[in-house]
Amino acid sequence: MKMVRSLAALSLFSALVLGAPSALADGQRVGVVDVQRAVLQTEDGLRAQANLKKLFENKQAELNKKQQDIQKQMEDLEKQQKVLSKDAFMKRRDELQKQAMDLQGMMVKFNQELQEKQKELTEPIFEKILGIVKRIATTDNLDLVVDRATVAYVRGDLDLTDRCIQMYNSGGGGGGAAPAPSGAPAPKK
């Protein structure tokens, strides 16, 4: 998803800048935002990262334990190879290989779940950041704002990332109603 956004932004940037190089020279204004950094460095983004890290570490520890257990059983089986009949050895080895394949499937499924959870947690933040970028572009009369990931070089004064993060953290994220203060009744719909 990030790659698609980056390619789209790069295409737009190329079309606007390379297709009409004199357009920017005629006083049009450009800004740049590191969208990924903005999303991850907001207070909500930092919380999301901490939640994902905790989820990842717990599940990864569980998967590592299972993997070590299978490895130990394989090593024990190799030591018993001369004692066991060929059929018993092959049967046990096949069982352990099946367990290893199942574990690989579990790891793939876990990574997919982790990516889905990350998207679930960061997509609302991303949408709010885009709203802030639009607001800044309108307020500052910017004609074009591109993602930092698509730009090889940018002057520091054109970078709006820190400003977006500050606006987000100060409640300027927009995109929804602010929660009612504690003790105050929620607004009626």
**pLDDT score, position 27:** 77
Domains recognised in the chain with CATH numbers: 2-172 (3.30.910.20)
**How far from the centroid of its chain's Cα atoms is residue 62's Cα?**
23
pLDDT at 22 over 50: no
Report the chain's mean pLDDT, rounded to a whole number: 81
Q: How do residues 38-90 score in pLDDT, each as one tens digit?
A: 999 999 999 999 999 998 998 899 999 999 999 999 999 999 888 889 899 99
Q: Is 42 helix (H, G, I), strand (E, B) or coil?
A: coil
> Closest Cα partner for 57 from 121, 116, 110?
110
The model scores a pTM over 0.85: no
- Residue 82's pLDDT is 86
**How much of the chain exceeds pLDDT 90, in percent?**
63
Among the listed residues 7, 34, 1, the one whose alpha carbon sits nearest the alpha carbon of residue 129: 34
Q: Could you tell me the two tokens for 129?
A: 């950041």
Q: How far is CA 26 from CA 21, 23, 81, 123, 145, in A?
A: 9, 5, 80, 36, 17
- Tell me how many degrees the CA angle 107-113-115 measures, rounded to the nearest 5: 105
